[in-house]
């Protein structure tokens, strides 16, 4: 058991989730490396100091370069806005420090390519924060698919739908501007990652992207929204399966519609993050009159279930996903073995996003570059 | 209250359902016209006579021309294979007799155009057997959409998925050959009709059509399947809404996956025929902390609920859908007023099917002709 | 195939349902006996004639004695108020005519005893209209229990909850007065019958019966409600299983809460009539990580599924339950073999109702007399 | 912000959960008091040291008296077996130290009475670990009931059902012996607490308690199980509502069947911990045709939702319940204001458990002493 100094860039929503995860992960999972909250970086001195005190960091800074450079910071978590990811990651890798970077990997495909190259050149641990796929339920679904429990996959339907922007009278905010903050840029990566993780690479797609609410109340009158609020594409996977992915921030009634259905030649799987501890499994076996989708509650028999929960039904929550992620990041550092999902997995997602934008513009099927 | 002689072409699955509906409809709905099962037509004399005796028809025949020509047959129900629809319908209209034709309207777009022209030239009642959309639940969903209960529609997702062909070891049968018997030809019309009825015309689409099980055991070795077993398309509706429709006969676990989701600017609706008496409604109104999809069980307050069921919870079943259809067909005959869905509604479905085939071949978005 | 004249006493809600069932049953099930709607009896000449014309009976009467006595009436369906059941049934049995009597069997335990004695003395077909237990889903549940699919039963929970009287401002009506019209008298029999059919005889129970809304608006001021609107009891079955049954007409949100859960030593079953085509089955077998309640949609593989529905997912509705019942009544007449549930099954239900009333008064556990 | 030294007696399942909660609570909720894991007590020196190192305590001991006496331990969490609760709590209160005690409060009613008296005499913070009722969902349900959202409560049905002992071939273990480890002793307190918290005091009840699996494989042949594995009671609440509570450790298929239904005069609520982030609410308001149970996903608008989760759908898990509990315990210490549920709430639960045992023995309704 050894101590490791963690630096977190960003102290808001995701920065806090990572800080809590680092506080808890050692006791929860009995990790070999034990995190020490060494330094937090925020945009103002006041907020940095507040995060430091609140979460229990040793130091605070407003300059991520100070954080990256500090020898007491032995690993870096990037939880700042997308456009900062590239510079911070490159500096950290240059300093030989492992990086756990929030999704999406970069603000652009170029950024993501550069970051992946730097990660792989550095040889240190690198990971992307696709935490939804880390639930016991989704890890179990992945295990089922990979073990052939439902045969060869012929169909995948995934969606990430929420309704935080469904009210047209809601004023414009940072989400309303810039492709990177649109539905394809910001919301789609989690579910694209799920599709790739569960089924495999996407070979081609045809996309349609739309702005439903074209203006929103702004400070000085109506503001024009410059990005998309719903999008979808048809695709084919390398293995031949058909797919459909859909993303929306205007889907009334959906609060965490990270959901998918997988059909194979001998069974099927269904999952919805709104009931995040259940996997629905159908197997074409046993008496026909007794077949049906069964609702499996995840528990100690399923991958990544939190070890202090002795029985099934002790539900996993959002924060647990981040703690599981922290465990794997520490494990990658400790063992020197790569842990999925790495930067190249984040890059693969960006390549699909890019293909979707191209297809929407060309109104045609496009191949996904790899 | 007046008697009307009904002739039904076809005595199998759907023919029987129509016969039962005609026996029950008068007592159930107190219709002005009371059906008399006058003549049934089947391919062999033995089966025709068996249907006659079993369902209580006055006469039996193996020649649909005899049925159409008999003066005692005052209205014709076509429940025979698709390729026979055109000739029978044209003859019936020529004889001035109302026609209720099973879906899909014709075996081809050409057939459907000719049938619609004949129907409209004749001026007599004409109807297509899209019975799923006739449930109280789907009629209520339609009423909600049309009354603006969920605002302007921005998204529609529909599927018709079943698993009757999911087992690859199942021998080839009539369903395995010919575009008209494939998933797009045979399974898609019900849900395309639902999309048009719920949201309105489709302007353009891009489709992908696939044969998952390319061969099946045949009488003398492996038989090549010549049609599709799953298909999907992205679309835009005339009103601007985005859509996705998906059809499969290899969707393990789905028994009657006639299901849709509709998102509007102020609410959303969900429906699944596997629980056919429930409509899920979300309205963005009232205290935010109390919002959620509510499960509404259809009852006497909803359209087309069977009148002898005094309270909600007296579930509607498949046969009831056919009885509701029979009522409307009789009403159209009695009043001379058209009742939805007419032949032109069946034609509109075929135009979408045709566009999907074109798009699949050209790998491009296509406009739906109207 | 032979004709049989049916007389129905009562033409309202249940009378109509039976009339429709008799019209449809021959075509649906290909029964050996084919019903002819011979005579309907109602309280006024006008309503009797209206029922006759609407449902297609040959004759109408206001005197049930005329109906019972008519030689053309070969079997009698009793769908009139409870207090009339005894006299009609006794007269019919005296005339040697089979009887299908609506539930509850008699208006009192005495009536039920007399009716059962008369039925058994007559030797003709006799049946009670417990139609909910006749759905394919509940028949499948019964088959599962009886075949040992869930082991020895250790627990049963049943409820019949609706909300038709939940609104306290609703005026008093016939339901508000008299024990026979209360929740125990009128609502409980269906679920008690289910308990007996699924698990077996109840040996003892302790009950609590309550009037939630003690007064209701009446014609001339507040009217005192003289019967119960919710009731429950703990019980033990002869086989040792524990049970709980609950009945309510004031259960807001429940529209057809005819629902039960059965736990056995190797599995469990759940059912709710609000989704009447699904049975939920849990079996403690196969890999532990893949166990869960599975939702089985009833179809052609399940008992009593309507034969014209080729695949699962063609839902059964309320009217179908009555048609299934009609088939079995005709079968009992044709074959001379008793068909469940007979009058003695209706009597067994009344014995449980009686024990519950006794227990409520004595505030003690009571044995159920048999 | 001030430091406080925490001592935890017990380092197994619940001890670990409390340790993790204390590590995370400050960062999660920004509490005024910041816990320091000061000392852990376990039965062997080896396990005590292992817990110390794993969870990050300063010291370890095998003697709870040492822990209670250490001035650096400023508050005590009791997570050791029931029979130890009394002595530890009394010693802690004698030393003027706040206590958070796991449920059930004492191993007997006598213990619970003594502990409550000591707690109240001491004047320091005291709390019982009923963590299930602390979920945002159940706190929201409680808020709804208390605000009158469903009118006057007329019905409550609660169950705590699991299946960890459903397999009869599972060998006997500590759970198989002693009333305190039976279903009434160990499993019932959470749901009884829920009933009291949601509806109010129980006035009287009649209970039935059973041992389904009377023997289990033991080390030297069949071992006789000396406690109950399923139990139920009918009750009346002080407010007049009827109730039913049921407990089982042999309920196949149930993994965390902590579930309840509440019916009021104007609405109803349903909850099941197996889907712990959802509350189902029915309100008898708005258009009748649009009424139904709505599924509300808890989020930032609901009580106790974790503050770093910005939107709904970021699910709460089991560990979060313990963290919420830790926050309230710290708040009670900091403010000197009592925080629900206190020891007297734990005592009230034990009084109901006692009444149930009495009723089972006497086979009669009994009043619950208070």
Query: HEC string of D143-167?
Result: HHHHCCCCCCEEEEEEEEECCCCCC
Angle at A229 between CA A225 and CA A233, to 5 degrees: 135
The minimum CA-CA distance between C170 and chain B, rounded to whole Å, is 15
User: How buried is residue C168: exposed, middle or buried, by Cβ count under 10 Å (0-12/13-18/19+)?
Assistant: middle
pLDDT reported for residue B306: 73
Contacts 24+ apart (CB under 8 A), A283-291: A283/A149, A283/A150, A283/C290, A284/B163, A284/B166, A284/B167, A284/B252, A288/C301, A289/C140, A289/C296, A289/C301, A289/C302, A290/C149, A290/C281, A290/C283, A290/C294, A290/C296, A291/B253, A291/C294, A291/C296
The minimum CA-CA distance between B77 and chain C, rounded to whole Å, is 17
Helices (H), B126-176: 136-146
Short-list A127, A249, A234, CA closest to A186: A249
C-beta of residue A98 within 8 angstroms of C-beta of residue A88: no
The C-side interface with A (CB below 8 A) comprises 140, 149, 278, 281, 283, 288-297, 301-302
Q: Is the pLDDT of residue A283 over 70?
A: yes
Would you call D363 helix, strand, or coil by DSSP?
coil
What are the tens digits of pLDDT across the range C185-243? 999 999 999 999 999 999 999 999 999 999 999 989 999 999 999 999 999 999 999 99
Q: Kindly state the helix (H) or strand (E) to which residue A58 belongs, with its residue range.
A: none
Q: Which residues of D touch C292 (CB under 8 A)?
A: 253
Any idea what DSSP says for residue B86? Answer: H
What are the tens digits of pLDDT across the range B319-369? 999 999 999 999 999 999 999 999 999 999 999 999 999 999 999 999 999
Torsion C69-C73-C74-C80 (CA) sign: negative
pLDDT reported for residue B308: 52
CA atoms within 13 A on the CB side of B262: 31
The answer to whether B313 contacts C27, with C-beta atoms less than 8 Å apart, is no
pLDDT reported for residue C307: 64
Could you tell me which chain A residue has the CA closest to the CA of C296? A292
Q: What is the largest CA-CA distance in chain D?
A: 66
**Residue B234 main-chain phi, psi, to 5 deg:** -85, 150
**Residue D231 main-chain phi, psi, to 5 deg:** -160, 155
Average pLDDT, chain A: 95
Short-list A141, A97, A76, CA closest to A277: A141
Cβ atoms within 10 Å, residue B167: 14
C-beta of residue D170 within 8 angstroms of C-beta of residue D259: no
Please identify every stretch of chain B with a pLDDT value under 70, giving residue numbers as ranges.
307-311
The answer to whether C294 contacts A296, with C-beta atoms less than 8 Å apart, is no
Alpha carbon distance D347, D342 (integer Å)? 9
Instruction: Name the residue with tokens 């004639």.
Output: C49
The strand pairing partners of A6, in sequence order, are A37, A75
User: Pick from B157, B234, B252: which is nearest to A264 by CB?
Assistant: B252
The minimum CA-CA distance between C296 and chain A, rounded to whole Å, is 5
Contacts of D215 (CB under 8 A, 6+ apart): D222, D223, D224, D225
Q: What mean pLDDT is predicted for residues A77-93?
A: 97
Helices (H), chain B: 13-29, 45-55, 64-69, 82-94, 109-122, 136-146, 188-198, 318-335, 343-362
- C-interface mutation test, from B6, B15, B28, B305, most C Cβ less than 10 A away: B28
Q: Which residues of D touch B140 (CB under 8 A)?
A: 289
Would you call C231 helix, strand, or coil by DSSP?
strand
Contacts of B263 (CB under 8 A, 6+ apart): A248, A250, A251, A252, A253, B150, B153, B154, B155, B156
Q: What mean pLDDT is predicted for residues A196-225?
A: 97
- Subunits with 3+ Cβ pairs within 8 Å of C are A, B, D
Instruction: Name the residue with tokens 């006791």.
Output: A27
User: Pick from A291, A296, A301: which is nearest to C296 by CB?
Assistant: A291
Tell me the whole-structure pTM to 2 decimals. Answer: 0.97
Could you tell me which chain A residue has the CA closest to the CA of C302? A289
Please identify every stretch of chain D with a pLDDT value under 50, giving residue numbers as ranges.
none
Q: What is the largest CA-CA distance in chain B?
A: 66
Q: DSSP states of C23-89 as a string? A: HHHHHHH--SEEEEEEEEE-SSHHHHHHHHHHHT-SEEES-HHHHHH-TT--EEEE-S-HHHHHHHH
Burial letters B231-261, b for 16+ CB under 10 A, else e? bbbbbbbeeebbbbbbbbbbbbbbbbbbbbb
Cβ atoms within 10 Å, residue C367: 12
Short-list C222, C227, C224, CA closest to C248: C227
Average pLDDT, chain C: 95
Q: Which residues of D touch A164 (CB under 8 A)?
A: 311
Contacts of B370 (CB under 8 A, 6+ apart): B201, B348, B351
The minimum CA-CA distance between C322 and chain B, rounded to whole Å, is 12
Q: Kindly state the helix (H) or strand (E) to which residue D24 belongs, with its residue range.
A: helix D13-29
Q: How confident is the model at residue C1 (pLDDT cuts 50, 70, 90)?
A: confident
Could you tell me which chain C residue has the CA closest to the CA of A294? C294
Alpha carbon distance D82, D363 (integer Å)? 28
Cβ atoms within 10 Å, residue D109: 17
Q: Is the pLDDT of residue A223 over 70?
A: yes
- For residue D233 the two structure tokens come to 């009671």
The answer to whether C155 contacts D230, with C-beta atoms less than 8 Å apart, is yes
Could you tell me which chain C residue has the CA closest to the CA of A281? C290
ipTM over 0.90: yes
User: Pick from D13, D56, D314: which is nearest to A318 by CB?
Assistant: D314
- For residue C63 the two structure tokens come to 């005197």
Delineate the domains of chain C, giving CATH numbers in brackets.
Answer: 2-131 (3.40.50.720), 136-315+347-362 (3.30.360.10)
Q: How confident is the model at residue C308 (pLDDT cuts 50, 70, 90)?
A: low
The strand pairing partners of C60, in sequence order, are C40
The answer to whether D291 contacts B294, with C-beta atoms less than 8 Å apart, is yes
pLDDT reported for residue A314: 86
C-beta of residue B243 within 8 angstroms of C-beta of residue B199: yes
User: Pick from C27, C162, C309: which is nearest to B23 by CB?
Assistant: C27
**Residue D327 main-chain phi, psi, to 5 deg:** -55, -45
- For residue B288 the two structure tokens come to 């935010």
Cβ atoms within 10 Å, residue A83: 13
pLDDT reported for residue A331: 97
C-beta of residue D166 within 8 angstroms of C-beta of residue D254: no
Q: Which whole-number Å values give the CA distances from D197 to D191, D200, D252, in the listed order?
A: 10, 6, 28
The B-side interface with A (CB below 8 A) comprises 150, 154-155, 157, 163, 166-168, 206, 208, 210, 212, 230, 232-234, 236, 242, 244, 246, 248, 250-254, 263-268, 282, 284, 291-293, 363-365
Q: DSSP states of C93-133 as a string? A: HHTT--EEEPSSSSSSHHHHHHHHHHHHHH-S-EEE---GG
Burial letters D254-275, b for 16+ CB under 10 A, else e? bbbbbbbbbbbbbbbbbbbbbb
The minimum CA-CA distance between D363 and chain C, rounded to whole Å, is 7
Alpha carbon distance D339, D333 (integer Å)? 9
C-beta of residue A279 within 8 angstroms of C-beta of residue A269: yes
Any idea what DSSP says for residue D364? Answer: B
Short-list B261, B17, B306, B16, CA closest to B135: B306
What's the full length of chain B, in residues? 370
pLDDT reported for residue A303: 87
- For residue D278 the two structure tokens come to 């959802």
């Amino acid at each position: 058991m050894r101590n490791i100094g963690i630096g977190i860039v960003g102290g808001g929503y995701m920065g806090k989730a990572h800080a809590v995860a680092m506080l808890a992960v050692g006791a929860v999972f009995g990790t070999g490396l034990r995190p020490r909250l060494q330094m937090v970086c925020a945009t103002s001195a006041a907020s940095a100091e507040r995060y430091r005190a609140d979460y229990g960091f040793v130091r605070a800074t407003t300059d991520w370069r100070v954080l990256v450079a500090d020898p007491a910071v032995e690993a870096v978590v990037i939880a700042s806005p997308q456009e900062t990811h590239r510079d911070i990651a490159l500096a950290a890798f240059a300093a030989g420090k492992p990086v756990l970077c929030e999704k999406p990997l970069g603000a652009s495909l170029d950024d993501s390519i550069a970051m992946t190259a730097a990660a792989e050149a550095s040889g240190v641990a690198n990971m992307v924060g696709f935490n939804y796929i880390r639930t016991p339920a989704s890890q179990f679904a992945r295990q089922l698919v990979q073990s052939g429990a439902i045969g060869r996959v012929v169909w995948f339907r995934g969606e990430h739908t929420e309704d935080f922007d469904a009210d047209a009278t809601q004023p414009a905010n940072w989400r309303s501007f810039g492709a990177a903050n649109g539905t394809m840029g910001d919301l789609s990566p989690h579910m694209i990652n799920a599709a790739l993780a569960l089924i495999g690479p996407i070979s081609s797609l045809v996309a349609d992207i739309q702005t439903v609410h074209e203006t929103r109340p702004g400070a000085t009158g109506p503001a024009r929204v410059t990005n998309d609020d719903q999008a979808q594409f048809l695709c084919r996977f390398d293995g031949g399966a058909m797919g459909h992915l859909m993303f929306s921030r205007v889907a009334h009634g959906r609060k965490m519609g990270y959901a998918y259905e997988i059909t194979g030649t001998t069974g099927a799987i269904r999952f919805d993050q709104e009931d995040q501890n259940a996997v629905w499994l159908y197997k074409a076996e046993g008496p026909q009159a007794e077949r049906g989708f069964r609702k499996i509650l995840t528990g100690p028999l399923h991958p990544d279930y939190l070890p202090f929960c002795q029985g099934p039904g002790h539900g996993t929550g959002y924060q647990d996903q981040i703690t599981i992620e922290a465990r794997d990041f520490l494990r990658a550092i400790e063992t020197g073995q790569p842990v999925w999902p790495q930067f190249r997995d984040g890059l693969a997602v960006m390549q699909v996003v890019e293909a979707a934008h191209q297809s929407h513009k060309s109104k045609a099927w496009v191949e996904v570059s790899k």
